[in-house]
Amino acid sequence: MDLPVRPRRVIARPSAEELRALTERMPNCLKTRHGNVNVQTRVVARSKGSTFVVTDDTTLHRGHATITRDEGERMAVVQDEYIRARDMVVVDGYIGNHRTLRTPARLIIEAANANIAAMQQCLYYPLEQGDEARFEPQVTVIYTPNLPAQGYPNERLIAVDLERRITRVFNSDYFGESKKGGLRMWNKIVYDRGGLAMHAGCKIIPVDGRDRVALIIGLSGTGKTTTTFSKQNDSRPVQDDFLAIMPDGSIHATENGCFAKTFGLAEETEPAIYRAVLKPTSYLENVSQKDGELDFFDTSYTQNGRAVFKMADIEGAGDARSIKKADLLLILNRNEDVIPAVARLGGPQAAAYFMLGETKGTSAGGAEEAGRFLRIPGTNPFFPLDHSLQGNRILSILRANPMEVYLMNTGRVGGGENDARSLKVKIRHSSAIVKGIAEGTIRWDRDPDFGYEVAAAVPGLEGDDGLLVRPRALYEKQGRLDEYGAIISRLRAERREYMKTFPRLDRDIAESVS
């Protein structure tokens, strides 16, 4: 096995059993009464402020923090020297399972943090018989969770070298840096091949003897996983977190498993995820635990508890290779005021709301994002190029491969959590909306303020629930139309200014929010 580093000892392609044994030796590993393991980490979220693209041409990566190639080389030497005195685990596998886009991927990580290797092994598609000898990784993550990066924010560094397709991670023991490290580089591979990587789930919804394929994009914490795994007409989840859509409209999966948030997890509301999380083969990260018992509602350590499990542990999961094209694109945000629980988008407007990526940040993005109002294009913080390219690419793909596009608010309507007048969009509400979208049973009216279509009625949403899709009616009922109008004016102005920050963006997209 030819490696770009020279460790003291290499544990090459260990089995799942070997990785579990190594994980259980970790001092911060807890066993649960369900037979799985729960590792408590120092770092509890992605380190966005410590993530840098290695490049001497910053114009290609507008909107991203960068370091020079010389600095990247200097830090690579620091990491390589450290690794010479360490035992390292090497995990190989594939991002994607379709041969036309299947990408060989490798993780090299300290054996002292074997849980990360085990979790990544769950998400990689495995090598097939005969692959071992000829396997050559196209993307590599070299990961030293216990090596401080002197001079960088929090002494952590995620150095993304897209030219060499190597990401180096320093001083974070949070699994998300491994998962996103490979997928961030894969984003560029897909873009270079004419497609677009999407931070999205995918599900197949049967309707009247035919299948409707839905893509669900959303920033972590907006309900992307929940929406993907919720059931409508015996729907089948296909992918949880990342996929590619190509110029011909074909859909490609990335991962053989799921990295799910566990906060608030309950069997009554999310039965498929709940049962998978409690299987002995799952790996947990930062879930509250006492005497072997898990508490998915205790946030005293972090709200960003996580679990990794295989797609095979989800009953009735589908395979992306069976999909020809997508029918529906659902853009999730978590808002709190005048955004309806669902709106239908058309033409360049669909690409515009894709670019807006509006939502309220959660603990998954770290302290700098939690609770803040965010705009992240494509809800994809892992796209490593100029974000204008995302908007232009999705517009060209939608024009060549028409699909229905919807905006879904999974937060609240009429105010924040502490406002007694506001209404919460619950899982059952979103599920009814997805069902109505798939079946074509929602009646639509044009919204005079934003130009998209809002639902006149959704089967299953009656009484006050019906006001979730008609914010103007809610504000009018409560005598708050002046407040409603002020929010509309502010949002429209802010969106116009935001679009001006993308000079390379197609004018049709930018002007569709004016």
Reported as a single tens digit per residue, the pLDDT across 352-361 is 999 998 887 6
Q: Give residue-wise pLDDT tens across range 303-338.
A: 999 999 999 999 889 999 999 899 999 999 999 999
In a domain, 274, yes or no: no
* Range in 62-71, 259-268, 370-379 with the lowest mean pLDDT: 370-379
| Same domain, residue pair 190 and 201 | no
- Comparison of pLDDT for 378 and 11, the residue scoring more: 11
- Comparison of pLDDT for 110 and 374, the residue scoring more: 110
Q: How many structural domains does the chain have?
A: 2
In a domain, 263, yes or no: no
Residues 446, 448, 454: CA angle, nearest 5 degrees:
35
| Same domain, residue pair 131 and 230 | no
| Same domain, residue pair 85 and 211 | no
Ranges of H-type helices in 304-373: 348-356
| Same domain, residue pair 188 and 202 | no
| Same domain, residue pair 431 and 470 | yes
In a domain, 249, yes or no: yes
**Nearest Cα residue to 327 out of 493, 456, 204, 442:** 204
Residues 481, 486, 487: CA angle, nearest 5 degrees:
100
- For the cut 70, the answer to whether the pLDDT of residue 276 exceeds it is yes
Roughly how many angstroms between the first and final C-alpha of the chain, as a whole number? 56
In a domain, 484, yes or no: yes
Report the pLDDT value the prediction gives residue 31, as an integer from 0 to 100: 96
In a domain, 284, yes or no: no
Q: Find the CATH number of the domain harbouring 359.
A: 3.90.228.20
In a domain, 265, yes or no: no
| Same domain, residue pair 181 and 246 | no
Report the pLDDT value the prediction gives residue 49, as an integer from 0 to 100: 94
Residue 466 near residue 443 (C-beta atoms within 8 A): no
**Nearest Cα residue to 152 out of 135, 173, 170:** 170
Residues 210, 212, 217: CA angle, nearest 5 degrees:
170
Rounded distance between C-alpha atoms, residue 405 and residue 345, angstroms: 5
Domain limits for position 156: 10-28+47-194
Rounded distance between C-alpha atoms, residue 413 and residue 404, angstroms: 23
Residue 234 near residue 262 (C-beta atoms within 8 A): no
| Same domain, residue pair 384 and 495 | yes
Q: Find the CATH number of the domain harbouring 171.
A: 3.40.449.10
